[in-house]
Structure 1
Amino acid sequence: MKTIRSRALNSFLLRPQDYWVINSEQNQYLFLSESLKFFKISDSSILEYLKICETKNVKDTFLTEDEIRNIGSILQQKDNAEEIESKDELSHSFLILNVTNGCNLACKYCFANIVGKNYDTMSFETAKAAIDNMLGQGTLFEEYTIYFFGGEPMLKLGLVKQVVEYAETKIVVESGKKVKFLLNTNGTLFTPNSIAFLKKYNFRVTVSIDGPLEQHDINRVYRNGKGSFNKVMEGVQMLKDNKIPSNLRATFNPQTLDLFETFQFFEDLHLPYAYSFTINNDYKSNSDDTFFKEEDYEMIEWRMKQVMDSFSEKIKNNKPVYATGIANKLNAIKYKMKRKHACEAGRRSITVDESGKYYACQNMIPYKHTALGHVGYEIVEEQRQKYMSKSLNAIEQCRDCQIRNLCGGGCEVERLNSDTALKQQMCRFFKMEWKNILYTYSRLQEQ
């Protein structure tokens, strides 16, 4: 066996954070973090090379120095992976209006105020100013989006109607551009009148629902503790009956341990849906109901693999998968779509709260020190640079992460947590999900 002594070979070795070995049922696959290449390992010399990368022991190996150099050069070669454009200046066409911080529910993990206590409502003048400011930028877009958020925006349907009529006049009639309207709601307050309004203006509606009845009603409750599931499902059915484009949003918590059953529930509704896991912070519940323990992680990871196996079978049999995040992530692998920042908060998108203050993201509203300015005066650029979604190369903890170019740095809001364990919790979920996506992609390659 040839002994290798050259320290110069280290430059041809991948760092452990630059690759991931994925085991499918039949083969081993290699994912390269920088180029996003993903391929089956069919040569024993690759496995030997990876062993050297892991151990940093280049003394005893059957590979020659030239073979190590050649393999390293090939695997470190940059590819023409598509990079999602990253521009740091503010030029927004996506406006989120937090029309009220009040809500008729009392969800345990939510920062909104429940009706019955003091809560704030956005004035029509504030909404007008936010729209005018968006249109007054140097860049004119062909299409704008206005997203009504809360709290529960359906509590202020009259205001929403005023804003929509104003936006139609300013954007469509006067500017000759297009406008889309979105609404985020808990789904409990729909009436024939509100449904007719949403249909007239071609709204896309996002309804928050956490799964089947027993699971949803753990956290998404009224002030008296009564669950909201049945009322939410009535609202979802009203949207479907009236052919209003809609999608669902789930928040999974430690009680959501049977992920397979939960995902099946959503798939059976035949509506697109997204999901996230509860992350504790000072403005949401810090109780055991929302904090994931070590045994919870293990159970979720095991269940997630079952979910991914079922998705693989659906795709194999040309059946639709309604989990939009799954499809988007699989496409990111297929088309090597590099993310240089996680989202458009404070870049192409901006949020206005009830008082008229600007924020990079609606989830930053509870963190009052992150306000960027006010609709009545200019945005403070120093604040925007501090709290907008960061470019990947500006986030120190992401530089040595295997999925850095897939997640783009994760959620800027969660980085506001002072608790290091909570920051690690966010990253741990992201890694678990991407590992399962890569596993699913490998199964699809084999099929």
Structure 2
Amino acid sequence: MVRSKSIVYRRSPYLQSGANQTTCVIWHSLLGWPLEVSLDTLEFLNAFDRPRTVVGVLGGQPTQEERELCQLFIDRLYLVPAAADPRAIAMAELERRRPASDHGHRIRYLELIMTEACNLRCRYCFHFRSNGEQSLRRLTVRPLSFELGRRAIDEYFSQLRRNGVTQAVVNFGVGEPLLAWPRVREFMEYARASAVPDLELSFTLNTNLTRLTVPIAQVLKQEGVTIATSLDGLEVANDAVRITRNGSGTFGAITASLDLLEQIGWPVNGVAVTVSQDNWPTFDNGQLDWAQFRRLTQVRVDPDVLSLFDVPVPAIAERLLQLRRDAATRGIIVAGFWSRPFENLTNDGISESIGFCGAVSGRSMCVAPGGQVYACGYSSRPLGHIVDGPELFGIDQRYHQLLAERRTGHVERCRECPIESACGGGCEVAAECADRSGQLFDRRVCQLYVSLTTQLLLDHIQQAGHVPNL
């Protein structure tokens, strides 16, 4: 029940809303909690733009239903006592949710950076800039040594055991891991031999597929390796950006490898697509036709997250939304980094373990060929060295410092953003690039994510009839 008829409330500045002709959704930009409401209810909440009592706004004694609804608004901090600091109240709630320890207890995923070399030179690649070999960090072409990889696997398994985790995922990625295929196979064999009986172990591989052979494909099937790959549109679109060192297109080589995987009974279930200035003009629903023909169930589509290309944000948002809607009619899920804030919002409220990705939510550790540990394989911010062992996760170490900086509500550049917590500061690598170049974080990316999150919430309500977690 509403605690007191005489308490003066005001609308929290963190209450956000989106509406179309038929419905409205509201949420708290720090705490989440999306809720479908009527336009009349939104008008009621907006009446608290100046401090008022509930009775004063309703114009009389509330009914039982009105009291319960008002109490929900108060409990979710949509309405706050007029004299209170709304951010302090919300941050106190976030602190209450915060896990007791950040000492690596959230880690679920190990990435072994097999090599930082790659046989392609995709124009947008994090690793290799289009102006030559300039990269986010000093790269080495040597593969990850067996000794360092073994240490990484051992430490990862130990970390899981310390925290009672029974599922392990080892990924091979970043450069082109098939350039170091013999070592990949060694690590799979070592991990299988080292895993305790109650540990459910799986492997994933991020590959451009251009180096795939029949023997490699058969081993991947035998080991049950989940394959992640990219194809940046149909032939014209893909070959404008996903190119070899000499500038040749890759569409034919990639699709031939997809055919091979299907022939041996180990087809991929999806592809990732990066859209940039070069392939945007030729990127359309033809990709969905192709995906449906291939019986794919997922297509990840992302504009270049380092900086948006020279197309108006509303046009990018509308094309992504329409692509997602059209894909849904074909049984294909289209998602990307741009849908992550929406996905976070529709979880059970924002928590300290939610982040833009596994790197900034403390779920991953990535080990480079030199033994340096990163939160993300593309990051230029080393958090320690694998020989440090459990000390990597100490409270005074760089790993813990990164998580503290990216804690929900603590990213300074994101204060007052409508999706401040759900987005969690966006891509760490994009932020690092901005810091290194002395440029501001691309706010057009932020605008795109806010616009898409609002529309995705409205679409979800119309399709499902409700927002989960109510």
TM class by smaller structure: 0.7 to 0.9
Partner of 1:103: 118
Give the whole-Å Cα distance in 1 for the aligned partners of 2:267 and 2:301.
18
Going from structure 1 to structure 2, the CA distance change for 1:426 and 1:85 (only over 3 Å counts) comes to: farther
Cα pair 1:185 1:206 within 8 Å, conserved: yes
- How far residue 183 of structure 1 moved from its aligned partner, in angstroms, is 0.2
Q: Can you list the C-alpha shifts for 1:269-292, whole angstroms capped at 9, x where unaligned?
A: 332232322133xxxxxxxxx642
Going from structure 1 to structure 2, the CA distance change for 1:423 and 1:330 (only over 3 Å counts) comes to: closer
Partner of 1:359: 374
Give the whole-Å Cα distance in 1 for the aligned partners of 2:289 and 2:47.
42
Give the whole-Å Cα distance in 2 for the aligned partners of 1:358 and 1:52.
49
Q: Secondary structure at the match of 1:32?
A: strand
Match of 2:276 among 227, 250, 253: 253
Matched, 1:18 2:11: no
- How far residue 57 of structure 1 moved from its aligned partner, in angstroms, is 9.6
Going from structure 1 to structure 2, the CA distance change for 1:396 and 1:413 (only over 3 Å counts) comes to: same
Cα pair 2:120 2:242 within 8 Å, conserved: yes
Matched, 1:292 2:290: no
Match of 2:386 among 375, 379, 391: 375
Which range is displaced more, 321-330 or 354-363? 321-330
Matched, 1:38 2:35: yes
Cα pair 1:356 1:375 within 8 Å, conserved: yes
Partner of 1:170: 194
| 1:419-434 aligned within 5 A | 421-434=440-453
Cα pair 2:18 2:25 within 8 Å, conserved: yes
Going from structure 1 to structure 2, the CA distance change for 1:228 and 1:258 (only over 3 Å counts) comes to: closer
Going from structure 1 to structure 2, the CA distance change for 1:434 and 1:153 (only over 3 Å counts) comes to: same
Matched, 1:410 2:429: no
Q: Can you list the C-alpha shifts for 1:141-165, whole angstroms capped at 9, x where unaligned?
A: 3221110012100111111011111
| 1:40-439 aligned within 5 A | 40-43=37-40, 46-47=42-43, 49-50=45-46, 53=49, 63=57, 74-78=72-76, 88-91=102-105, 92-112=107-127, 119-137=141-159, 138-172=162-196, 176-244=198-266, 246=268, 247-254=270-277, 255-256=279-280, 260-261=284-285, 264-265=288-289, 267-268=291-292, 269-271=294-296, 272-280=298-306, 291-293=308-310, 295-311=311-327, 314=329, 320-323=331-334, 336-340=348-352, 341-342=354-355, 343-345=357-359, 347-364=362-379, 367=380, 370-378=381-389, 379-380=391-392, 381=394, 382-388=397-403, 390-416=406-432, 417-418=434-435, 421-439=440-458
Q: Percent identity among equivalent residues?
A: 21
Q: Secondary structure at the match of 2:409?
A: helix
Q: Gapped runs of 5+ residues in structure 2? A: 1-6, 78-92, 134-138
TM-score normalised by the chain length of structure 2:
0.75
Q: Gapped runs of 5+ residues in structure 1? A: 1-7, 281-289
Q: Secondary structure at the match of 1:350?
A: strand
Going from structure 1 to structure 2, the CA distance change for 1:234 and 1:30 (only over 3 Å counts) comes to: same
Q: Secondary structure at the match of 2:153?
A: helix
Cα pair 1:84 1:338 within 8 Å, conserved: no
- How far residue 227 of structure 1 moved from its aligned partner, in angstroms, is 0.9
Cα pair 1:321 1:327 within 8 Å, conserved: no
Give the whole-Å Cα distance in 1 for the aligned partners of 2:455 and 2:371.
41
- How far residue 336 of structure 1 moved from its aligned partner, in angstroms, is 4.2
Cα pair 2:308 2:444 within 8 Å, conserved: no
Whichever residue aligns with residue 314 of structure 2, its letter is: E
Which range is displaced more, 397-406 or 332-341? 332-341
Q: Secondary structure at the match of 1:401?
A: coil
Give the whole-Å Cα distance in 2 for the aligned partners of 1:242 and 1:329.
37
Whichever residue aligns with residue 194 of structure 2, its letter is: K
TM-score normalised by the chain length of structure 1:
0.79
RMSD after superposition: 3.6
Give the whole-Å Cα distance in 2 for the aligned partners of 1:12 and 1:259.
46
- How far residue 67 of structure 1 moved from its aligned partner, in angstroms, is 8.5
